[in-house]
Chains A and B, each alone.
Chain A
Amino acid sequence: WGIFITGRGSHHKSNNGRVNMASVFDSCWFLWFLPVCYEQWWALFASISPYAWATTGIALAIGLSVLGAAWGIFITGSSLVGAAIKAPRIQSKNLISVIFCEAVAIYGVIIAIIMQTKLVYESSPSSSFAGYGLFAAGLVVGLSNLFCGICVGITGSACALSDAQNPTLFVKILIIEIFGSAFGLFGVIVGIIMVGKCSFE
Chain B
Amino acid sequence: MAPGGMAAFNVDDGYLEAIVRGYRAGILSSTDYANLCQCENLEDLRMHLSSTDYGNLMQNEPAPIATATIAEYCTRKVVDEFRAIRTQAIKPLSMFLDYLTYPYMIDNLVLLITGTLHNRDISELVDKCHPLGLFDSMASLCIASTPEELYREILVDTPLAPYFQELVSLDDLTDLNIEIIRNTLYKAYLEDFHRFCGTLGGATREIMQQILEFEADRRAINITMNSIGTEITRDQRSTLFPSIGALAGEGHVRLARADEVASVRSAVDGYGLYRSLLQVVEDNPEKNLEDAFFEHEVKLCRLAFEQQFHYGVFYAFLRLKEQEIRNIVWIAECISQNQKLRISNYIPIF
Contact = CB atoms under 8 A, between A and B. Distances in A.
Interface of A: 71, 74-75, 78-83, 85-87, 150, 154, 157-158, 160-161, 164-165
Nearest to A83: B18
Nearest to A71: B7
B217 interface: no
Interface in B152-177: none
A78 B7 contact: no
A81 B15 CA distance: 7
Contacts of A78: 10-11, 14-15, 18
Given A86-B23, A87-B25, A165-B25, A160 B7 contact: no
A160 B22 CA distance: 11
Majority secondary structure, B binding face: helix
A154 B26 CA distance: 24
A164 B26 CA distance: 11
B16 interface: yes
B27 to A, nearest CB: 11
Given A85-B19, A157-B14, 16 more contacts: A75-B14, A78-B15, A78-B18, A81-B15, A83-B19, A83-B22, A86-B19, A86-B25, A87-B22, A87-B25, A154-B7, A157-B10, A160-B18, A161-B18, A164-B22, A165-B25
Contact of B308 (A71, A87, A150, A157): A157
Interface residues of B, number: 16
B17 A85 contact: no
Contacts of A74: 10-11
A67 B25 CA distance: 34
A81 B18 contact: yes
Going nearest first, the 7 A-B pairs with the smallest beta carbon separation are A82-B18, A86-B22, A78-B14, A82-B15, A83-B18, A78-B10, A75-B10
Contacts of A75: 7, 10, 14
A85 B22 contact: yes
Contacts of B10: 74-75, 78-79, 157
Interface in B1-43: 6-7, 10-11, 14-19, 21-23, 25-26
B51 to A, nearest CB: 16
B23 to A, nearest CB: 7
Contacts of A81: 15, 18
A77 to B, nearest CB: 8
Contacts of B19: 82-83, 85-86
A75 B1 CA distance: 14
14 contacts: A78-B10, A78-B14, A79-B18, A82-B14, A82-B16, A82-B21, A82-B22, A83-B19, A85-B19, A85-B22, A86-B19, A86-B22, A154-B6, A157-B308
B25 A164 contact: yes
A161 B17 CA distance: 9
A78 B11 CA distance: 8
Contacts of B23: 86
B247 to A, nearest CB: 36
Nearest to B6: A154
A78 B6 CA distance: 13
B21 A165 contact: yes
